[in-house]
Structure 1
Amino acid sequence: MQLLRIGEAGAERPAVRVDETTFDLAPITSDIDGAFLADDGIARTRQALEAGELAPVESSGQRIGAPIARPGKIVCIGLNYSDHAAESGMDIPSEPVIFMKAPYTVVGPNDDVLIPRGSKKTDWEIELGVVIGKTGRYLDSPAAAMDVIAGYTISHDVSEREFQLERGGQWDKGKSCETFNPLGPWLVPAQEVPDAEKLDLRLWVNGELRQDGNSSNLIFGIGHVIWYLSQFMVLEPGDLVNTGTPAGVALGMAGQPYLKPGDVVELEIPGLGRQRQTLVPA
């Protein structure tokens, strides 16, 4: 079962995909958002499918939006793969590195990505995205943290490295440019991902494989990250947590081949789908 939103930007309709068939979720909810997740929306969707209460809809050729409506917040973990920390010339952190992205950065998985005005170092980062389904506040343990996860998706943490690292202040200014978080295509319920820490993450630029990692190499595992965050902030249904990127970003490559207009980036996590974006000037 894969939850998705289809239609033009700002007018997406909620749907669910099972075995290549897409069903209308309108009888269950008006959107896939925090309220839907908090109200056992995934369980209600499964029950409606089993009861044959959802009608098939044509999805071929339609735009796919982000699988959740604008999240309340996007919390990101930096330097969470040792190989990425090494290529960035930074020490492996003793605790998770936290930064935020603005919610408006979220776009569909195949939408264009805007290179910001004045950008010289727009970079790519494939990440496993975790969508929160229950309130997480001072969670007792990493094991308990797994219970607040609604599901998983592909998250593209696009970054402008000069803004992020050379212009002073926090990382956020290099992370929150518009369109800097393509998301999706689907939200796969946590119960249907057997082991989220054994997923391959791959990213190509213009057909050339640049990132080829596995979530088994996370420094801080998914449960630890969610537990840790809950000690400092309240995680709410619909929030998105980006868990970090493996090695292979432009920042760490010889010649630093940053993205330019016309470049095409493709991302894939088996079981979670595939994304494709074209870079265009803002």
Structure 2
Amino acid sequence: MRRPIRSLLYWRFRERPFADLGRRGVCDAAMRLVQFCRRGKEGAVRVGVELEAGHGVVDLKDFDSSLPHTMREFLEMGDRGMEQAHRALASGRCVVALSDVRLLPPVTAPEKVVCVGMNYRDHCLEQNAPIPKEPIIFSKFPSAITGPYDDIILPDESKEVDWEVELAFVIGRKGKHIKEEEALSYVAGFTVANDVSARDWQMRRNGKQWLLGKTFDSFCPLGPALVTTAAVKDPHSLGIRCRVNGDTVQESNTNQMIFRTEAVVSWVSQFVTLCPGDVFLTGTPPGVGVFRNPPVFLKKGDVVECEIDEIGVIRNAVI
């Protein structure tokens, strides 16, 4: 006999005993976690669960006042936080209409923002560059993170600001020297990122080190949700695309990634301890502006949309 669906509040949740959640990872429940504030209360950050088809957001703090305000603190709770999120989702209570919500980046103020360069085969071919033998790691400062629908600010210091759609993931539990075969259990979920880049600073200034060109304020739009690992069928088989003013400028698939999520987690954890809330950007496919003929860069008034199948779309105006 077919079980009745209790309501739209069950968003593809895989029912398992709570005690089993920790065995495979902190996010074995299929959910879309968000960080948000209510309209008119912009200073009050909340963590919630996004419902299916625009039916609102479950406010976890309203459901359980002991839960923290931020996603980073929520992830630090591990299984207990996820258990409460499931209970809140199943309860049918504490739902806030989307019209009353402003979505924030799914994670703010992470300890680290780790990026992988040259990580798509087709992007390497675009540049006639060799396939890297080891992951090329650089970083952004956390202050570069901005919301899924917030503005990208063109800095006066650069005239060559470019787009880069990327699959991002967020660490869910602390680890060091993580084995590749266990790495996904350390990943809380996936989200969409735009690795906005000032090419003049990346390629010609600052000794050609990438950091300054990558980390201007607003150069890391992120969102719209943190989609838990159980909700993504295969993170390495997702359509990925970027549009500028409605025109598709990048289109590929995450199967082009050279170093996949597990390899990146294992590699970076050799050097630094990974912590809940750490954000990883996994590289971009071909179609960036700097390698066009002639090169194309973002200008005031442009609108950039980055989209990944099963995860969502972020849309940012350039000002």
Question: Normalized against structure 1, the TM-score is what?
Answer: 0.94
Percent pairwise identity:
39
* Aligned-residue RMSD, C-alpha: 1.6
Among candidates 8, 17, 24, match of residue 59 of structure 2 = 24
Secondary structure of 1:47's counterpart equals helix
CA drift at 1:212: 0.5
Give the secondary-structure state (helix, strand or coil) at the position aligned to 1:209. strand
Counterparts of 2:72 and 2:140, CA distance in 1: 18
Cα deviation, residue 59, structure 1: 2.1
CA contact (8 A) 1:16 1:25 kept: yes
Structure 2 residue aligned with 1:187, among 212, 221, 226? Answer: 226
Q: Is the 8 A contact 1:25 1:54 kept in 2?
A: no
Aligned partner of residue 109 in structure 1, secondary structure: coil
Structure 1 portions without partners, runs of 5+: none
* Cα pair 1:42 1:189 within 8 Å, conserved: no
> Retained in 1: the 8 A contact 2:166–2:193?
yes
1:218-237 correspondence to structure 2 within 5 Å: 218-237=257-276
2:159 is matched with which residue? 120
Q: Which amino acid aligns with 1:35?
A: E
Pairs within 5 Å for 1:208-247 = 208-247=247-286
Q: Is the 8 A contact 2:49 2:89 kept in 1?
A: no
The reply on whether 1:165 has 2:203 as its aligned counterpart is yes
Q: How many residues align?
A: 278
In structure 1, give the amino acid aligned to 2:36. I
The reply to whether residue 252 of structure 1 matches residue 252 of structure 2 is: no
- Residue 47 of structure 2, aligned match among 9, 14, 18: 14
2:168 to 129, 133, 149: 129
Q: Deviations over 1:42-95 (max 9, x none)?
A: 333113323x17411122253211012221110000000012123234322110
- Of the candidates 75, 80, 83, which is equivalent to residue 43 of structure 1? 83
What displacement does 1:129 show?
A: 0.6
Q: Does structure 1 conserve the Cα–Cα contact (< 8 Å) formed by 2:152 and 2:219?
A: yes
3-state DSSP class of the match of 2:153? strand
The answer on whether the counterparts of 1:264 and 1:277 sit within 8 Å (CA) in structure 2 is: yes
CA distance in 1, matches of 2:276, 2:289: 33
Distance in structure 1 (CA, Å) of the matches to 2:102 and 2:94:
19
Measure the CA separation in 2 of the matches of 1:60 and 1:134.
Answer: 33
Q: Which stretches of structure 1, 4 residues or more, deviate above 4 A after TM superposition?
A: none
The alignment partner of 2:240 has SS state of: strand
Structure 1 distance, partners of 2:254, 2:43, is 32
The residue that corresponds to 1:3 in the other structure is 33
1:248 shift after superposition? 0.7
Paired residue for 1:155?
193
Aligned to 2:131: 92
CA contact (8 A) 2:60 2:88 kept: no
Contact 1:76 1:244 in 2 (8 A): yes
Give the 3-state SS of the residue equivalent to 1:67 in structure 2.
coil
Q: Is 1:78–1:98's contact at 8 Å kept on the other side of the alignment? A: yes
Aligned partners of 2:186, 2:229: CA distance in 1, in Å? Answer: 10
1:228 & 1:124 partners in 2: Cα distance? 26
1:146: which partner in 2? 184
Q: 1:21, 1:269 → 2: CA distance?
A: 21
> Secondary structure in 2 aligned to 1:6?
strand
CA distance in 2, matches of 1:6, 1:106: 14
Of the three residues 88, 100, 107, the one matched with 1:68 is 107
More helix per residue:
2
Q: Distance in 1 between matches of 2:297 and 2:42?
A: 28
**Greater relative contact order (Cα < 8 A, sep 6+):** 1
The alpha-carbon deviation at position 251 of structure 1 amounts to 1.4
Report how far residue 268 of structure 1 moved: 1.0
Structure 1 residue 242 displacement after superposition: 0.3
What are structure 2's unaligned runs of at least 5 residues?
1-30
CA distance in 1, matches of 2:128, 2:161: 18
